[in-house]
Amino acid sequence: MIEQQKIDYERIAEAIIYIKQNFKAQPNLEEVAEKVKVSPFHFQRLFTNWVGVSPKKFLQFTSVEYAKQILKEQRTTLFETAYRTGLSGTGRLHDLFIKIEGMTPGEYKNGGQNLNINYSYAQSPFGNILVASTSKGICYMAFSNQKEQAFDTLKKRFPNADFNQVVDRIQQNALFIFKSDWKELNQIKLHLRGTDFQLKVWDTLLKIPKGGLTTYGSIANYMNKPKASRAVGTAIGNNPVAFLIPCHRVIQSTGEFGQYHWGNTRKTVMIGWEAAKTNQ
C-alpha cells in the first residue's frame, strides 16, 4: 500500500511538472496520461484525488496564473497575452478569467479600474467591521478595530477601483445577518472572485446551518474531494467575506475550534452566540 502511494505520488508530481512546463501547448488529458504511463481514465481519477481538481482545471489555473503575470506588464495587449499563454484567442482568455478569477482579464489588468465600490463601517456583536459592495453584491467584509488598516486591506484587493464611503441597500441587507431573527433576512448578494475550487468551498460553507458546525474533512467529502482537506482549509483561509460566508463554523475533526483569520477568540464567541440564538 505504501509502495503504491509512493508510485502514485511520483506520477502526480511528474504530471504537475509536465503541465507547468508545457501549458502553452495546452496538452490534453491523453497526452499527460501517456507521459506518466497510465490510462487517461485512471489518470483523471488519480490526479483529481491527489490534487483536488481535475487535470483540465489545473491546466486552466496554470494558464490564468501565467496570464496574470503577463497582464501586469502594462503594455501587453489581451491578444498578445492569449497568444503567449497558448490559448486560442482573447475569447478563450476571457472565459477562463470569468470562470476562475470572477472578473474579466481587462478588469484584472486594471486592478479593478472602472469598478465602483461602496464601503462603510458598522458595529456587530463581534466588533467593528468594514463592509464593501459593488452593484453585483458584497465583495468584501472584515472585522477590524482600526478603520484605516481595514480600508488599506480592501484597497490592496482592488488597487485601482473607485471607492465611495457610502451605505447602500446591498450592505444593509448583509448587515441584517447580525439580527437575532434570521427569518427577516432579505436575499444577500455576493460578488466574489476566486478559483473554481474556492468558489465551490465558499458555496458549501453557505449550506452549513446557523448554529451548526462541520469539519474540513466533511466539506471535502461533501464536494466529493475526500483527499482535499488541506486545499479546503486553504480556500477557507482565503474567504474574503467574514461571517456571511461562515468559515467560523468549520472546526477540526478533534473537536477543537482551530484557527480563524479574524481571531480565535472571536471564532469561539461566534460559535457560542449562534448556538444560543438557535436554541432560544
Cell numbers linked to 160: 485601482
Maximum CA extent, the chain: 60
Alpha carbon 218 to its chain's center:
18
Using CA atoms, how far apart are residues 16 and 62, in angstroms rounded to an integer? Answer: 10
Could you tell me if 117 and 100 are in contact, meaning their C-beta atoms sit under 8 angstroms apart? no
Instruction: Kindly name the residue from 129, 247, 270, 271 that is annotated as catalytic.
Output: 247
Active site residue 139: no
Q: Which residues are catalytic?
A: 247
